[in-house]
Amino acid sequence: MLSTVLLLLGGCDREGGIYIAAPNPDYPFIQDLGEFRVIPIDEQEANVVDNGKAFMSWGDDLRAEDESGRKGIHYGGIGAPEDPSYFGGATFTFLGTGGEVCLVVDPETVFWNQALAGDVTTSEYLYVDSVTDDADLDLDGGLSAYYNGSPGLEMGEFEIIYTDDGGVDHGLPASECIQLGSQKTSAHAGRSALEYCTIDTDGRLGVEFTAVLDTFLLPLDDGVIHYAVAAFEGSCGTLTAAPRGMDECVLSREGGGALDIPEDMTTEEYCKDADNPWNDVCLEEAFCSKTKDLNQYCVDHFTDDDAPCTDNGVHPPPDDETVDPGTEL
């Protein structure tokens, strides 16, 4: 009996440190991004391209600060804490417009999860997902007066403290960022998916609001969750910046380094050429094409050691090469 117990104890001799993202000194785990400007509808419309099919979120004008130093669409990265028990994230403020404001955040470049649609033979979900680059940010927002965190120092939430007649304090939720899940209940979008919510600032023109990006999941490959975030005039349901709907393609090029990829390596001709190395921009363009170009893109590039997707055997590999369906590159 004793030998059996010792054997079982020996089988649990592991620390699990490989599942914890390492800190990156270039990316603090708690950040205060300052004040954002709410991007007006006419500015959104001016950046809809490709015959109204796409929104150029990375344009210099949309990312530029205004005369007051307020950010437009912000591209950044949040790192991991030294102590994994600490909550990380980022905050920014914006002023109420007197109407609806749509908050949008898109974390990291991950578009598919094989476990979600293993029976679908024509979609991007057929390809093996590299879990080391997965990331997730949870979006929240409300009146700055009700935010109990310390921007840049400590993450918090939106809460009103009510003291009853007996002197007992009660916390009442004061978040105004309601996201509806598939069951029409408040829910976050999930791993690496776009998150958005509409905040009605009617009667609160010029009143300060705070938006919160809570770090939920950090990638293990570099310990940095890259993202794009913005506040747009109007409701998320009618956002001009989303002509193809609210999906991963609204705020594009949010992956680490994607903004620095030369333009000549992001053209349609470059991306479709199987002899050219893949990059995050080409991968996103293939996904956002809405014509299942991602399937062909992955077939053309799956032999590349750096490729983010692997053919699972449904599509015949080029040059009669064989593929192990369970292999992750």
The CATH number assigned to the domain holding 112 equals 2.60.120.380
Neighbouring residues of 274: CB distance < 8 A, sequence distance ≥ 6 = 300, 301, 318
Residue 102 has pLDDT above 90, yes or no: yes
Residue 206 has pLDDT above 80, yes or no: yes
**Cα distance between residue 91 and residue 194, in whole Å:** 17
Do 301 and 205 reside in the same domain of the chain?
no
- Structural domain boundaries enclosing 309: 262-317+325-329
* 22-52 per-position pLDDT tens digit: 888 899 999 999 999 999 999 999 999 888 8
How far, in Å, are 13, 20, 84 from residue 16 at the CA level? 10, 8, 12
Q: 3-state class of 231 per DSSP?
A: strand
Do 210 and 291 reside in the same domain of the chain?
no
What is the mean predicted confidence (pLDDT) over 223-227? 92
* 303-317 per-position pLDDT tens digit: 545 555 554 444 443
**Cα distance between residue 196 and residue 231, in whole Å:** 10
Do 95 and 198 reside in the same domain of the chain?
yes
Lowest mean pLDDT among 72-81, 182-191, 233-242, 275-284: 182-191
More confident residue, 71 or 300: 71
Residue 114: left if φ>0, alpha if ψ -120 to 50, beta else—which one?
Answer: alpha
Do 244 and 128 reside in the same domain of the chain?
yes
Residues β-bridged to residue 93: 35, 210
Give residue 302's pLDDT.
59
Instruction: Say how many domains are in the chain.
Output: 2
